[in-house]
Structure 1
Amino acid sequence: MTAAQMTSTSAGDGAEVAAKGTTEKRRLEGSLGVPSIVFMVIAAAAPITVIGGNSPIAIGNGPGSGAPLGFLIAGLVMILFSVGFVTMTPYVKEAGAFFSYVATASGARMGVGTAFTALVTYYGIQIGCYGYVGWAIGDLVTAFGGPDIPWPVYSFAAIAAVAVIGYHNIDVSSKFLAVALVCEIGIVCILDVAVFINGGPEGISWHSFDVSHVTDSGFGIAILYALTGFIGFESTAVYRDEAKNPSRTIPLATYAAVLIIGVFYTISTWALVTGAGASKARSVALETVSGNANMMIDMAGQYAGVVVRDIMQVLLVTSIFACVLSFHNIISRYQFTLANKGVLPAALGVAHPKHDAPSRSSILTTVLGALLLLILVVAGLDPLGGVFGYCAAIATCGMMILMLVSSVSVFVFFRRHHEIVGNPVTTTIVPLLASLGLAACLVFILVNFTMVTGGSMAVSVILALIPFLAFAGGFVTAAASPRMRGRFMANVL
């Protein structure tokens, strides 16, 4: 097979539908540019939520003042992964992100396994964030003197709001996410600047980037929690069909998203260390981990004033809402693509004639999300340690599996297609380095999974197995159905 054959666009299932004389539309269209896609991807990362939640955990349970170096290294690993991801993008003509890349390199069985893992991962982080946003809204309302209403009420209200926005054209989501993202990044930048101008109680801690921290106890924990903040960054490829000039837009959006997220996380975590003082950063962060304080919010009040602190509390809620909206869009498009490849019911692969959106898939995403959350509520799980903690743990493990399999697939793809003349650095060396780094991260996550979940060993083992079982289930399903494999690969090459 030649490179030209691999890059050609197949009519695929869309042609099948047209031949049957139906007016159903099975391909999304749009004109999203680099900024719009970057906004949606970074919104899924929920920057203010990561700085308010992940960073204190990374500092308190990790290497203390050395946590910013962990975030820097995590960002470099993501850049290494992105190089292979972007290099292979011209040869992947589907809006399927991870599973399309894996299928192109390794076939339908691996592709369907990856798709199932992705769905479990994104549903996991979405449900977890619904629990988080319910708690955050309730906390905000009571902080301003409002009534104490059970958190599930707010969570299901958020689901309803996301359902309405997600049902419509992606432009509606992108505009909301752009505003929310600019506001949340802006408010954290105000805090960062205020801290660095003041210098903190011990001055700016340049020692935070000393390579000696690599040997500190708990340094890997900082990398772990930094990596979880990148979940959803590969969704640049999910919006391929709705992007203008995707062969240019997707690579640029991917690099921009990773660089912005990585730099923002590193500098803002460094600001938290500086604001607390390098020698006291761990103890201050542990107060947040224990639930007795909020490092980011308290520091905003101390260095930037009460008004900034109050605005930050509000934007924390909008950040989590933007996060669940982003993941709703990602899941809906995953399901839409899988339906048109014979993996899910065909009805989910029909675009709305007016909104040009995967509206049927969006409805399913809403219904399943509500049902799964209801099960957890009935089970009596608390919104943070239970719903968010458990679901985010599943998503973290799943994301590492997805990135590792995808990175290996980039290497495999270019080894199998020697006719493609490429730079060995980007087609071989960097993907191998990224694979090694991601494999090390996955091993560390599994070894320390009880710390990630906050639960018992038995609960942690069950949660860790879920994404692996999803992969195995997809692999076996594809292996048992030749017809599915044929349809799945129809538009891949």
Structure 2
Amino acid sequence: MSEQASRTVIPPKDETTLAKRSLGVPALVFLIIAASAPLTVLAGGATTSFAVTGEMGVPVGYVALGIILVFFALGYGRMSTFIQNAGAFYAYVTAGLGTRQGIGAAFLALVTYNAMQVGLYGVFGFTASSILNDLAAVEVPWWVCALAAWLIIAVLGVNKLDFSVKVLAVIVIAEFVVVIGVSLLSFGVAPEGITVEPFMPEHWLTGSLGALLAFGIAAFMGFESGAIYSEEAKNPERSVAKATYIAVGLIALFYAFSSWAFAMGVGPSAIVPQAQEWGPDLMFVFLDQHMPVLIVNLAAVLFLTSILAAMIAFHNAAARYFFSMGRVQVLPRLLGATGAKNGAPVAGSLAQSVLGLVFIIVFAMAGAGSDFGALYPVMTMFPWLTNAAGFGMVLLLCITSIAIMRYFNREPQRHPAFVRTPAPLIAAIGLGIIALLIMFNFDVMIESDGFSALVIVIPAVIAGSGIVGVLWGEYLRRKQPQIYAEVSTADIG
């Protein structure tokens, strides 16, 4: 069946519709940045990068990734002016590469977003349990704390998105306040003075740049989610692209600045050994040395809410992929059901919640009596699933870049030359390199001592989900052509 450039995926006009046009640019930006979790990145991501790479050039990694993703965002943002669909990657890849490939992208996106959301339950449960023990001397198993977060997210997920946005806005603003405060404190104490040492080539052109990029990409995961809410956005032809550009620039610059400032606060010569000694606790150790206990405890609580905000954002994204695929019957049509009054993707949200519950129970049972003890969820559930998600996201971005290039070049007169080819091509090459770097560094990323079958199994499951999707698309083409045709053909206006 022919798939023209003037065709793409839109929902059938039936009862399965999301709440319309309630999100402006600020709301979209909050949703995007909540997924990126600024405080979690500084306390967890940046310190881990310093520790694992053994280099102080972590800020350069964020800048380099920001540049690559700006090239991606140019085409991605322009695509959002032509296509509005809750399954953004699925719709864009369908438009550019074909229906089977689009369904493959949808399956890959489903696994990716669910893996990230579920993996965060591990670090949330561990962090909440530790905080309760430190502040109230109460010992609570990590999985009990994870279930409490699960309940909050499950309730928010079946309500109108506006409510989640208000919750996320408060959390994100608080995160920025804390990270800015840590940065200002870092410049104030700076034991070795304020220098640009982390940006010098000898700290990132030593073979470590690949590892810096591989570890840093997780900090940006979620920047693409504005397009997922395009059906619920005000003036989506403009607001989605604008929110994406703002988010990419803000995330890259803010993370580069805050990680550089933190290196100044600890000291350029000390940041790597200190990160290797303390890991994600380093920020709180640093605050404890310079601030009252009350401030340190408040920062710890906000670190917890930062993780919660990211989980809410990824839950919303996964729910909308379930919805978009159920709506066109690529998955069971029930998943396309929305709330009669609030327009929330209720069935998709419940499906994601069920998955989260199953994984919490499985890891709770598997961790009983483990040698890792209380660290079990942050040594298994968190690194395994979130790094799998990071790999899946890079693959999605790379494939989407190629799809965007194909889509624009079918009608070159309608699109600027740079956005049509050079920008998505540069993005595809850069993202493809990062995907390879993640594979080569996967043993380190999941903190495996020596060879582990997981180094092969986890990336294979992620890539395999896309292949399964392509095969399912071929099955639909042969056995259920009416569904395949519905996915393949619709006007984009």
Q: Settle same-fold status: TM greater than 0.5.
A: yes
TM-score, normalisation: structure 1:
0.93
Q: Give the partner amino acid of 1:490.
A: T
- Tell me the residue number matched to 1:204: 194
Q: Is the 8 A contact 2:214 2:441 kept in 1?
A: no
Q: Is the 8 A contact 1:393 1:452 kept in 2?
A: yes
- Tell me the residue number matched to 1:36: 27
Q: Matches of 1:436 and 1:4 in 2, distance apart?
A: 23
1:69-468 equivalences under 5 Å are: 69-198=60-189, 200-289=190-279, 294-380=281-367, 382-418=376-412, 420-455=413-448, 456-468=451-463
1:205 deviates by 2.6
Q: Matches of 1:92 and 1:63 in 2, distance apart?
A: 43
Q: Matches of 1:80 and 1:143 in 2, distance apart?
A: 45
User: Unaligned 5+ residue runs, structure 1?
Assistant: 18-23
Q: Give the partner amino acid of 2:199.
A: F
Q: Matches of 1:172 and 1:276 in 2, distance apart?
A: 39
1:304 deviates by 4.4
Q: Matches of 1:301 and 1:27 in 2, distance apart?
A: 46
Q: Is the 8 A contact 1:411 1:427 kept in 2?
A: yes
Q: Is the 8 A contact 2:160 2:344 kept in 1?
A: yes
Q: Matches of 2:49 and 2:168 in 1, distance apart?
A: 27
How many residues get paired? Answer: 478
Q: Give the partner amino acid of 1:233.
A: F
Change (3 A) 1:294 1:409: same
1:345 deviates by 1.2
Identity rate of aligned residues, in percent?
Answer: 31
Q: Give the partner amino acid of 1:130.
A: Y
Change (3 A) 1:91 1:30: closer
Change (3 A) 1:25 1:88: closer
1:129 deviates by 0.4
1:63 deviates by 4.8
TM-score, normalisation: structure 2:
0.93
Q: Matches of 2:137 and 2:490 in 1, distance apart?
A: 54
- Tell me the residue number matched to 1:481: 476
Is the partner of 1:215 in helix, strand or coil?
Answer: coil
Q: Matches of 1:479 and 1:492 in 2, distance apart?
A: 22
CA displacement 1:31-85 (0-9 Å, x = unmatched): 1000011101110111111111110111122252211111111111111111111
Q: Is the 8 A contact 2:220 2:251 kept in 1?
A: yes
Change (3 A) 1:192 1:371: same
Q: Matches of 1:212 and 1:284 in 2, distance apart?
A: 20
Q: Matches of 2:237 and 2:87 in 1, distance apart?
A: 14
Is the partner of 1:354 in helix, strand or coil?
Answer: coil
1:171 deviates by 0.4
1:167 deviates by 0.7
Q: Matches of 1:30 and 1:332 in 2, distance apart?
A: 18
Q: Comparing 456-465 with 384-393, which one deviates more in the overlay?
A: 456-465
1:471 deviates by 0.4
Q: Matches of 2:334 and 2:64 in 1, distance apart?
A: 43
Q: Matches of 1:214 and 1:188 in 2, distance apart?
A: 24
Q: Matches of 2:201 and 2:74 in 1, distance apart?
A: 24
Q: Give the partner amino acid of 1:440.
A: I
Q: Matches of 2:187 and 2:34 in 1, distance apart?
A: 25
1:308 deviates by 2.6
Q: Give the partner amino acid of 1:137.
A: A
Q: Matches of 1:219 and 1:205 in 2, distance apart?
A: 20
Q: Matches of 1:473 and 1:3 in 2, distance apart?
A: 25
